[in-house]
Amino acid sequence: MRRKAVFTKLIPALIASGTLLATEPAAETSWYQETLYPEWGQTFAIEKMIHQEKSDFWDLAIFENSFYGRVLAIDGIIQTTEKDEPVYHEMMVHVPLLTHGNASSVLVIGGGDGGIIREVLRHETVKKVTMVEIDNSVIELSKKYLPTLSNGAFDDARLKLVIQDAAKFVKETDEKFDVIICDSTDPEGAAIALFTSEFYGDCHKCLSPNGIFVNQNGVPFLQKGELKMSFENRSPHFKNVSYYVAPVPTYVGGYMAFGWASDKNYRVSTKTIEERMKTVKGKMKYYTPAVHKASFAIPQYMQDLME
């Protein structure tokens, strides 16, 4: 959900920076090489290119990998894979919703692949989900080529879909939400607005009493500036600002950080979370109440950045 990348071939080594096209014979293996960090990176074998498209906002690509399944990339940056997406989506959704305990109205910002709304709609307490996505192309392509991610969530009657700039939406709406989940890309291009103090202030305005805001904050071991900026920009608007973490294999470099912001100082026991899980449909693939509690024990290097 962050990385700049290029596609390469074993022979020749480099095709072109930022392109989604390969011109070598099909018999040769195509490779997807991430290049966010100049010192090191990771590569994905492209077994089959499923779809490529340039929308009004992004360069979109979906390809098949023998281990990770189908992979979604936007602007040459890996967004999600079928193999490890449950770690990210379950942690981003169930931690705030089960902490809150009675969330009936949820705002999802971004998340066009549908994984977030899939997990939100598993909660029986949720009566309405508003999803604000800037580009309908991501939604339509994900529904067609990555249907397991949404698993029918886009057809749920509780969902209200809004195609709009989320920064504009939260500034202008009069609606209140119990939980806001911001599943954006990292602060580059159009997503920069979703990491500003102004945006966080507008989100605070949209929250009901005891409301919770969470967002993705990259891999802090390698992206220290993003974590520090987000923490400083959220702090003026919420009484409790912190992070929780999860190891998402695709997002290399250590823990993935999730931003946390609320006015209520929540202290929820594992036993309480276990009871609340009875109102969540289906079986988890990663999340457990024990993992929930442990995820707020963040490493020292993150604590230092917050100071």
Alpha helices, DSSP H only, in 188-223?
197-206
For residues 135 and 54, give the distance between their C-alpha atoms in angstroms, rounded to a whole number.
Answer: 11
Query: Helix axis angle, 224-234 relative to 197-206, nearest 10°?
Result: 50
Q: What are phi and psi of 225, to 5 degrees?
A: -60, -40
Return the structure tokens found at 37.
């960090």
CB 111 within 8 A of CB 131: yes
For residues 86 and 286, give the distance between their C-alpha atoms in angstroms, rounded to a whole number.
Answer: 7
Q: Listing from the earlier edge strand, what are the strands of the sheet with 5-9?
A: 16-17, 5-9, 30-34, 43-46
CB 51 within 8 A of CB 64: no
Question: Catalytic site residues?
Answer: 183
Element (H, E) at 224: helix 224-234
Alpha helices, DSSP H only, in 35-135?
85-100, 115-120
Of 171, 170, 190, nearest in space to 180 by CA: 170
CB 217 within 8 A of CB 230: yes
Cis? peptide before 12, omega within 30° of 0:
yes
